[in-house]
């Protein structure tokens, strides 16, 4: 099959959707600048023109609101925020308006808009160019949040997000952009709220999403080589969660580690853990563990970045710990955070 | 008032103003008795603005409202029965009892929604106008907001973006001189609101918002400019709310936040927009006052029927509390046609 990198898979989804549906348009800061959105917008302006590929002034609030208003008027906008941090200026149109619109209007009008945010961490960019804010959006009723980890999902989830009749927050991670993999040339959807079991196993369920799913797959390989059978699930959609896939796996393995690139407290990983504890408690053989960012803003210095972002070793260690857990043996560090 | 109008048109304006006033006054008692529990921001005193502006619009044109939008909804052709049922939080309301007084919508009539987030719909209206500009057609969009909304940054972002893209939108500011309890001089260093559009090279003007024909003529020019591709336009309408910020009277409701001087209130009551128009109709236009009395009587019956409809309507069922969080499909509906 044809190989395509993650960012060009997004690009292909945009080309195909804009070609197929004249209601689709792209708006946001830097859509004609590779500096902002890499090659994800390549060729769109030339092909579809300035009316449908709108490089917007730095007015996140109004521009995001305009995308919401265009959706209310019947179009299918994609509004891009090249640094997810910038979306904070647009929380009113995203949360107060788009997320609530269908409900507060009694199901009389919907808002088919895609809020596309890019997690831009790494590269010593510090606290305001690195934030992974999926936990914020996943908390909000009325929003769907998707976070593809593979080029295949990057394309299929963008197409599904644009076609969805609801506001969808589409989040991609800069660290994934150059990954290459098989991507069909045809137009296809990856179903929102459907997880992918990347590796089947029987000892422990390892749940992850976005760039951490990529890391978790490497950790699962390493663990399997040492005899621990890991079932690795890439949730792909942060909200609504694919509870069936998650719970079925946890009930089978009896152990759960959740690896997430967001912060620890009140975060996405916490929700996955809570669901497992509520609905599969009697199947658990060991305490659940989380691998997350610490409750700390992103640093600049590369030395601190290395300490900040968890890699395969953090996941491997967490899995080994719960595999070693015995209910008869009190472990002094069973309460330690990482 | 030098233009010639036919009587049908003039009496239509009169009927709209009376319908708004009668609705507002009819819900005073139910608010005080507790039969209506949600916040209602009454439009009494500002009828000339919604009436004059909406009289210039076609059914396919869009308007967006705010927290004080009973008048906008009715003037754009929304169903009085459905509005009343919504105010009484019934299943038959325009938002099925999920929105209440502050979330009125009738997309088939071009009333695209209203929200109590100050300036919340301004950028949405800009987006609806952007949709017109992308798709073609001659739809005009109006955003109604108060003087309080001029404190929000998104208004200025929206003015710039609308001007940059020459969007067919009329920014209608209803200046009633108070943002909740705060007089305009405590909120703004400069009180000529219409001048805020000037730095964005947006055509702007100020009109007596209690003179329905003056509003109509100014709005007709603005809408015509927009249709000819010379939008956006800004229009400040000077007016006054006769009731409290929320509910019939902030003081008698126990909040004691209405600090408006008695003389000021008396002065504005003497400039009641309906009385002013009645004087004009019976004077300059020689319309028999009995014709006006007949209209008032008919409207009274309509309002009573709307109350009966609301009171006889069921409440939403508790089992449906989580309905309408997500849409299952797109509503193509009437909003598509331009």
pLDDT tens digit sequence for B67-80: 999 999 999 999 99
Q: Select from 3.40.50.970, 2.30.30.100, 3.40.50.150, 3.40.1130.10 the CATH code of B7-315.
A: 3.40.50.970
Question: CB distance A70–B128 less than 8 Å?
Answer: yes
Asked whether B152 and B118 are in contact (CB, 8 A), the reply is yes
| B95, B99, B124 ranked by CB distance to A65: nearest | B124
Model confidence at B259, in pLDDT bands (50, 70, 90)? confident
Q: What b/e readout covers A226-256, taking b as 16+ CB neighbours within 10 angstroms?
A: eebebbbbbbbbbbebbeebbbbbbebbbbb
Q: ipTM > 0.85? A: yes
For B178-225, how does the pLDDT look when each residue is reduced to its tens digit (9 = 90+)?
Answer: 998 889 989 999 889 999 999 999 999 999 999 999 999 999 999 999
Is A88 in CB contact (< 8 Å) with chain B? no
Is A71 in CB contact (< 8 Å) with chain B? yes
| B103, B135, B160 ranked by CB distance to A57: nearest | B160
Model confidence at A98, in pLDDT bands (50, 70, 90)? very high
Using an 8 Å CB-CB cutoff, list chain A residues near B134: 25, 51-52, 70, 75
Residues 6+ apart with CB under 8 A from A248: none
Tokens coding A195: 């997880």
- Model confidence at A293: pLDDT above 90: yes
Q: Provide the mean pLDDT of chain B.
A: 94
- For the ranges A324-338, B118-132, B276-290, the one whose mean pLDDT is highest: B118-132
CATH homologous superfamily of A3-182 equals Thiamin diphosphate (ThDP)-binding fold, Pyr/PP domains (3.40.50.970)
Model confidence at B168, in pLDDT bands (50, 70, 90)? very high
Question: CB distance B326–A97 less than 8 Å?
Answer: no
CATH 3.40.50.970 boundaries in chain A = 3-182
- Three-class SS state of A115: strand
pTM of the model: 0.95
How far are the Cα atoms of A28, A41, A79, A258, B128 from residue A169, in angstroms, in the given order? Answer: 14, 18, 10, 21, 20
In chain B the first and final C-alpha atoms are separated, in Å, by 32
Phi, psi of B13 (to 5 degrees): -60, -45
CATH 3.40.50.920 fits A196-324, yes or no: yes
Helices B7-26 and B212-227 meet at what angle, rounded to 10?
110
| % pLDDT > 90, chain B | 87
- Model confidence at A237: pLDDT above 70: yes
For B293-314, how does the pLDDT look when each residue is reduced to its tens digit (9 = 90+)?
Answer: 999 999 999 999 999 999 999 9
- CA–CA separation, B124 and A62 (whole Å): 8
Question: CB distance B158–A62 less than 8 Å?
Answer: yes
- CA–CA separation, A265 and A270 (whole Å): 7
Among candidate residues A140, A119, A135, the one with its CA nearest the CA of residue A267: A135
Q: How far is A277 from chain B (nearest CA, A)?
A: 23
Residues 6+ apart with CB under 8 A from A21: A76, A162
- Model confidence at A92: pLDDT above 60: yes
Among candidate residues B163, B49, B38, the one with its CA nearest the CA of residue B103: B38
> How far from chain centre, in Å, is Cα B43?
8
pLDDT, position A332: 52
User: Could you tell me the residue ranges of all domains in chain B?
Assistant: 7-315
Is A2 in CB contact (< 8 Å) with chain B? no
Among candidate residues B8, B20, B68, B29, the one with its CA nearest the CA of residue B48: B20
Cβ atoms within 10 Å, residue B248: 20
Q: How far is A103 from chain B (nearest CA, A)?
A: 5
Q: How far is B297 from chain A (nearest CA, A)?
A: 32
- Model confidence at A153: pLDDT above 70: yes
Among candidate residues A259, A261, A269, A277, the one with its CA nearest the CA of residue A319: A259
- Three-class SS state of B178: strand
Q: What is the mean pLDDT of residues B272-285?
A: 94
CATH 3.40.50.920 boundaries in chain A = 196-324
The residues of A that are catalytic are: 60, 129
How far are the Cα atoms of A2, A78, A148, A153, B254 from residue A188, in angstroms, in the given order? Answer: 15, 18, 14, 10, 60
Mutation target vs B (from A28, A63, A68, A72; most B CBs, 10 A cutoff)? A72
Looking at A88-92, B156-160, B233-237, B283-287, which range is the least confident one?
B283-287
Q: What is the mean pLDDT of residues B54-77?
A: 98
Mutation target vs A (from B79, B327, B329, B334; most A CBs, 10 A cutoff)? B327
| B93, B134, B161 ranked by CB distance to A63: nearest | B161
Question: CB distance A106–B95 less than 8 Å?
Answer: yes
Is A31 in CB contact (< 8 Å) with chain B? no
In chain A the first and final C-alpha atoms are separated, in Å, by 40
Cβ atoms within 10 Å, residue A38: 22
| A73, A106, A141 ranked by CB distance to B127: nearest | A73
Model confidence at A329, in pLDDT bands (50, 70, 90)? low
pLDDT, position B2: 53
pLDDT, position A328: 73
Tokens coding A295: 């409750």
For B218-253, how does the pLDDT look when each residue is reduced to its tens digit (9 = 90+)?
Answer: 999 999 999 999 999 999 999 999 999 998 888 877
Among candidate residues A231, A263, A243, A251, the one with its CA nearest the CA of residue A195: A243
Please name the residue ranges forming H helices in B65-118. Answer: 70-75, 80-87
Is A310 in CB contact (< 8 Å) with chain B? no
């Amino acid at each position: 099959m044809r190989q395509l990198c993650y960012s060009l898979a997004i690009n292909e989804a945009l080309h195909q959707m804009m070609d197929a549906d004249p209601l689709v348009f792209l708006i946001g800061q830097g859509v004609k600048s590779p500096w902002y959105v890499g090659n994800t917008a390549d060729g769109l302006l030339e092909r579809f023109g300035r009316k449908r590929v709108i490089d917007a002034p730095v007015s996140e609030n109004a521009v995001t609101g305009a995308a919401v208003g265009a959706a209310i008027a019947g179009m299918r906008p994609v509004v891009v925020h090249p640094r997810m941090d910038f979306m904070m200026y647009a929380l009113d149109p995203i949360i107060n308006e788009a997320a609530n619109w269908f409900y507060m209007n009694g199901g009389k009008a919907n808002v088919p808009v895609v809020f596309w945010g890019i997690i831009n961490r790494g590269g010593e960019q510090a606290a305001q160019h690195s934030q992974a804010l999926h936990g914020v959006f996943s908390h909000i009723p009325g929003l769907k949040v998707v976070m593809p980890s593979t080029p295949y999902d990057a394309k299929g989830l963008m197409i599904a997000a644009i076609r969805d009749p609801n506001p969808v927050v589409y989040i991609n991670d800069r660290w994934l952009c150059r990954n290459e993999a098989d991507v069909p040339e045809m137009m296809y959807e990856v179903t929102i709220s459907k997880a992918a079991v990347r590796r089947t196993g029987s000892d422990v369920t390892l749940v992850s999403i976005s760039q951490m799913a990529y890391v978790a797959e490497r950790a699962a390989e390493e663990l399997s080589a040492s005899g621990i059978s890991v079932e690795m699930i890439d949730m792909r959609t942060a909200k609504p969660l694919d509870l069936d896939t998650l719970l079925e796996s946890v009930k089978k393995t009896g152990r759960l580690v959740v690896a997430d690139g967001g912060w620890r407290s009140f975060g996405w990983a916490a929700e996955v853990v809570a669901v497992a504890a509520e609905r599969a408690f009697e199947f658990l053989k060991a305490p659940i563990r989380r691998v997350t960012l610490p409750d700390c803003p992103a640093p600049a210095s590369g030395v601190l970045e290395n300490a900040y972002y968890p890699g395969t070793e953090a996941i491997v260690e967490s899995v080994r710990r719960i595999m070693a857990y015995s209910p008869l043996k009190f472990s002094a560090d069973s309460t330690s955070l990482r | 008032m030098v233009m010639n109008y036919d009587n049908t048109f003039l009496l239509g304006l009169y009927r709209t103003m009376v319908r708004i006033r009668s609705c507002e006054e009819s819900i005073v008692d139910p608010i005080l008795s507790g039969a209506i529990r949600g916040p209602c921001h009454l439009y009494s005193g500002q009828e000339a603005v919604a009436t004059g502006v909406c009289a210039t619009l076609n059914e396919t044109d869009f308007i967006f409202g705010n927290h004080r939008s009973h008048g906008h909804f009715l003037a754009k052709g929304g169903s009085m029965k459905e509005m009343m049922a919504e105010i009484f939080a019934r299943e038959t309301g325009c938002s099925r009892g999920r929105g209440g007084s502050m979330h009125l919508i009738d997309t088939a009539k071009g009333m695209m929604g209203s929200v109590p987030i100050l300036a919340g719909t301004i950028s949405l209206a800009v987006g609806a106008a952007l949709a017109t500009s992308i798709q073609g057609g001659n739809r005009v969009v109006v955003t109604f907001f108060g003087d309080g909304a001029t404190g929000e940054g998104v208004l200025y972002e929206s003015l710039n973006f609308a001007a940059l893209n020459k969007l067919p939108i009329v920014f209608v500011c209803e200046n009633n001189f108070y943002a909740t309890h705060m007089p305009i001089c405590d909120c703004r260093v400069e009180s000529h609101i219409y001048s805020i559009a000037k730095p964005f090279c947006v055509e702007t003007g100020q009109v007596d918002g209690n003179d329905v024909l003056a509003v109509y003529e100014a709005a007709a020019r603005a809408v015509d400019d927009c249709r000819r591709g010379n939008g956006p336009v800004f229009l400040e309408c000077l007016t006054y709310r006769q009731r409290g910020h929320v509910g019939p009277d902030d003081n008698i409701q126990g909040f004691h936040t209405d600090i408006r001087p008695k003389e000021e209130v008396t002065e504005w009551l003497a400039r009641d927009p309906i009385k002013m128009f009645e004087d004009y109709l019976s004077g300059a236009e020689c319309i028999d006052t009995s014709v006006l009395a007949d209209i008032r009587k008919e409207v009274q019956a309509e309002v009573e029927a709307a109350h009966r409809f609301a009171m006889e309507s069921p409440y939403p069922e508790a089992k449906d509390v989580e309905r309408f969080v997500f849409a299952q499909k797109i509503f193509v509906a009437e909003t598509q046609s331009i």
